[in-house]
Amino acid sequence: MEFQQRTVFCGTLRKFDVGSEVTLNGWVQKRRDLGGVIFVDLRDRTGIVQTVFNPEINAAAHEIGDKVRTEYVISVKGKVVERDPETINPNMLTGEIEIQVEEIEIINQAKTPPFFIEDDVDVDEQVRLKYRYLDLRRPQMFKTMQLRHKVTKMFRDFLDGHEFLEIETPMLTKSTPEGARDYLVPSRVHPGEFFALPQSPQLFKQLLMVAGYERYFQIVRCFRDEDLRADRQPEFTQVDIETSFLNMEDLLTMMEEMMAKIVKELKGIEIETPFQRLTYADAMDRYGSDKPDLRFGMELVDISDIAQTCGFQVFNGTVNRGGQVRGINVKGCAHYSRKDVDDLMKFAGKYGAKGLAWMAFKDDEIKGPIAKFFTEQEIATIKDRLQVENNDLLLFVADKAKVVADSLGALRLKFGKELGLIDESKFAFAWVVDFPLVEWDEEAKRYVALHHPFTRPRPEDLHLFDSEPGQIRAQAYDMVLNGYEIGGGSMRIYKRDIQEKMFKALGFSQEEANEKFGFLLEAFEYGTPPHGGIAFGLDRIIMILAGASSLRETIAFPKTASAKDLMTNAPDAVDAKQLEELSIRISIPPNQKS
RNA sequence: GGAGCUGUGGUGAAGUUGGAGUUCACGCUGGACUGUCACUCCGGAGGUCGCGGGUUCGAGUCCCGUCAGCUCCGCCA
């Protein structure tokens, strides 16, 4: 059975269409039956228009209109007519007109949906995810998917305009050490062997540089089998970029230009370039984070020197053991109750802080149990350094650097959000640079690459390989936006001797390195250009541009926090026969049955 | 692996000191209604209180366990 095809979209009709004969296809948003006349709001992806079924116009159509229900798929033919002035609906873009229906065809019936197809629908996300195809009918979701399409296209257009080639790399690839846990795919042809889904096309893009492709990009799905967060999905999309014969400055400049252009075109906001740059050390010291939200201040202030000489044992003891004491000024919160502060302590405790010292300044009075350990002079210095005014609350953490940064950094963000210090309309871009090349892993008892094993060290730090590898700074950079890491990359090692030093620092023998990255190392022997690149997290960028707080809002079919798809119920058990073909036997410890 | 919050007709919620599956709104359904757009009015249907166990004469409510969703820590660039 053929149906009457649309001549125009619902949401596009306006007053100047009055008089024209149109056919519309779409879903029934709402039916209002007034006995004689029936109104049906018809929706497609462009919007909603009111159609009118009047028995005096067409009795047959009116009769069918009576049977129509929510979410039925229909085709209506009729005339666009102007509404009487008193019946104009100013809340609808199409509110000045309506469709006088002459023919209607029910293309498909529909069950009543479990929730209303409308924005700001108050329904549990579990239900939305199970019926994602209905959720996606909501105008807001159309908007987000449209935004995603646009941004993706802008990336493509910009990179195309800068001589980049989009090249696909394999999804079925080799598991490599370092980095996240791999998603594995068993090979039927090679029993007992596995492909890994890419965590990123890292090695392939470097090989494309060896191959002389100069400028590569790819908008590509990546997979990481790690636990989820609001801003972390097990499969996500990267805008993956690699260049040859381009130094770091030129690459960063180009990437700034790209992001500024996208924000400008989408939001009409002029982004200042070059972006602010912070060293990793600075970011950690001042914001307690390697992805600081620069939309507000409340920086972490070091008072270790004062703490060391003060009478408070927790403070001077921590500093004497090599730790530090830092504080933040929570403006106007001197009124916090004992319980408020207790809650803050609990919060800081999640990040390893063993305590939270506080001082409140209210009308020339200093409150807080630690105040008595400081001399007048010390208090004055603290007030000066933290720019204390009346009614301010100071919070201090004394611990090793990581704990101080993590806990105060988290508190800073919490206050930023709760005290409304963040200007939501702002786009605060920054580069974080000079990351350490390697980091000591207490568990593995060896250094591990902070970025990855092919990251180029800064030339002036090369001599530290033999003495203090932890002090070497990498030519690595993260692009940060509003407290999210939206991109990261590095210049890569292209000299064999440096690569060997790197592997040595990571505790890989030549044999191990060959076994794991042999193909890459071999390729590097055939004329490797200086190269480097970056990868952007497309989903996160969309999330920020859409003003969403979860990646799930930006992905058409996302997974839950336990990495499940509630709509398809994947992952799921498979047939014994399939397993047999793959030479796989399932062995689940009895306490892990799900 | 750990912590917190949540789970009650299709949806969202309320449910007191432990006393009958009780309530509200929306939706659904039958009827009435010719200018509604949150249509209105009258009637009706709809439940494994996430699941399992325990305490109790009696559990939506208390206890233990468990599952699911969300957020966070660990993990992850």
Long-range contacts at A253-260 (CB < 8 A, ≥ 24 apart): A254/A162, A255/A479, A255/A487, A255/A534, A256/A429, A258/A155, A258/A158, A258/A159, A259/A429, A259/A479, A259/A481, A260/A429
Nucleotide nearest to A115 (CA to C1'): B11
Would you state the pLDDT for residue A590?
Answer: 59
Nucleotide nearest to A100 (CA to C1'): B35
Contact call for residues A80 and A52 (beta carbons, < 8 A): no
The span from the first CA to the last CA of chain A, in angstroms, equals 46
- Protein-to-nucleotide distance from the CA of A17 to the C1' of B73, whole angstroms: 58
Nucleotide nearest to A291 (CA to C1'): B77
Tell me the H-state helices in A375-530: 376-385, 401-418, 496-505, 510-524
- Protein-to-nucleotide distance from the CA of A142 to the C1' of B71, whole angstroms: 26
Nucleotide nearest to A232 (CA to C1'): B76
Query: Nearest CA to the C1' of B67 belongs to which residue?
Result: A594
Would you state the pLDDT for residue A594?
Answer: 44
- Protein-to-nucleotide distance from the CA of A120 to the C1' of B24, whole angstroms: 21
Nucleotide nearest to A436 (CA to C1'): B77
Q: Which nucleotides of B are covered by protein (CB under 7 A)?
A: 1-2, 10-13, 26-29, 32-40, 67-77
- Protein-to-nucleotide distance from the CA of A132 to the C1' of B14, whole angstroms: 29
Tell me the H-state helices in A14-114: 59-65
How far is residue A232's CA from residue A227's CA, in Å, rounded to a whole number? 8
Query: Nearest CA to the C1' of B70 belongs to which residue?
Result: A561
Nucleotide nearest to A441 (CA to C1'): B75
Contact call for residues A476 and A433 (beta carbons, < 8 A): yes
Query: Nearest CA to the C1' of B69 belongs to which residue?
Result: A126
Nucleotide nearest to A224 (CA to C1'): B76
Element (H, E) at A145: helix A139-161
Query: Nearest CA to the C1' of B41 belongs to which residue?
Result: A34
- Protein-to-nucleotide distance from the CA of A582 to the C1' of B46, whole angstroms: 48
Contact call for residues A171 and A487 (beta carbons, < 8 A): no
- Protein-to-nucleotide distance from the CA of A593 to the C1' of B60, whole angstroms: 29
- Protein-to-nucleotide distance from the CA of A157 to the C1' of B26, whole angstroms: 46
Nucleotide nearest to A406 (CA to C1'): B73
Query: Nearest CA to the C1' of B4 belongs to which residue?
Result: A347
**A206-221 burial, b if ≥16 CB within 10 A, otherwise e?**
bbbbbeebbbbbbbbe
**What are the φ/ψ torsions at residue A534 (nearest 5 degrees)?**
-155, 155
Would you state the pLDDT for residue A592?
Answer: 54
How far is residue A202's CA from residue A472's CA, in Å, rounded to a whole number? 22
Q: State whether the Cα torsion A380-A382-A385-A389 is positive or negative.
A: negative
Nucleotide nearest to A29 (CA to C1'): B37
- Protein-to-nucleotide distance from the CA of A60 to the C1' of B41, whole angstroms: 27
HEC-encoded secondary structure of A220-249: EEEECCCCCECCECCEEEEEEEEEECCCHH
- Protein-to-nucleotide distance from the CA of A350 to the C1' of B63, whole angstroms: 28
- Protein-to-nucleotide distance from the CA of A38 to the C1' of B36, whole angstroms: 8
Considering just the CA atoms, what is the radius of gyration of chain A in Å?
A: 30
- Protein-to-nucleotide distance from the CA of A45 to the C1' of B20, whole angstroms: 50
| Structure ipTM | 0.94
Nucleotide nearest to A125 (CA to C1'): B69
Instruction: Give, for all 594 residues of chain A, the pLDDT tens digit.
Output: 689 999 999 999 999 999 999 999 999 999 999 999 999 999 999 999 999 999 999 999 999 999 999 999 999 999 999 999 999 999 999 999 999 999 999 999 999 999 999 998 889 999 999 999 999 999 999 999 999 999 999 999 999 999 999 999 999 999 877 789 999 999 999 999 999 999 999 999 999 999 999 999 999 999 999 999 999 999 999 999 999 999 999 999 999 999 999 999 999 999 999 999 999 999 999 999 999 999 999 999 999 999 999 989 999 999 999 999 999 999 999 999 888 898 899 999 999 999 999 999 998 899 999 999 999 999 999 999 999 999 999 999 999 999 999 999 999 999 999 999 999 999 999 999 999 999 988 777 888 898 889 999 999 999 999 899 999 999 999 999 999 999 999 999 999 889 989 998 998 888 888 888 888 889 999 999 999 999 999 999 999 999 999 999 999 999 999 999 999 999 999 999 999 999 999 987 655 544
Provide the whole-model pTM: 0.95
Would you state the pLDDT for residue A589?
Answer: 67
Nucleotide nearest to A432 (CA to C1'): B77
Q: Could you tell me the two tokens for A81?
A: 């007519």
Contact call for residues A163 and A573 (beta carbons, < 8 A): no
Query: Nearest CA to the C1' of B1 belongs to which residue?
Result: A227
- Protein-to-nucleotide distance from the CA of A376 to the C1' of B31, whole angstroms: 83
Q: Which residues contact A153 (CB under 8 A, 6 or more apart)?
A: none
- Protein-to-nucleotide distance from the CA of A137 to the C1' of B37, whole angstroms: 20
- Protein-to-nucleotide distance from the CA of A572 to the C1' of B52, whole angstroms: 24
Query: Nearest CA to the C1' of B39 belongs to which residue?
Result: A32
Query: Nearest CA to the C1' of B40 belongs to which residue?
Result: A34
- Protein-to-nucleotide distance from the CA of A149 to the C1' of B10, whole angstroms: 34
How far is residue A257's CA from residue A274's CA, in Å, rounded to a whole number? 8
Nucleotide nearest to A114 (CA to C1'): B10
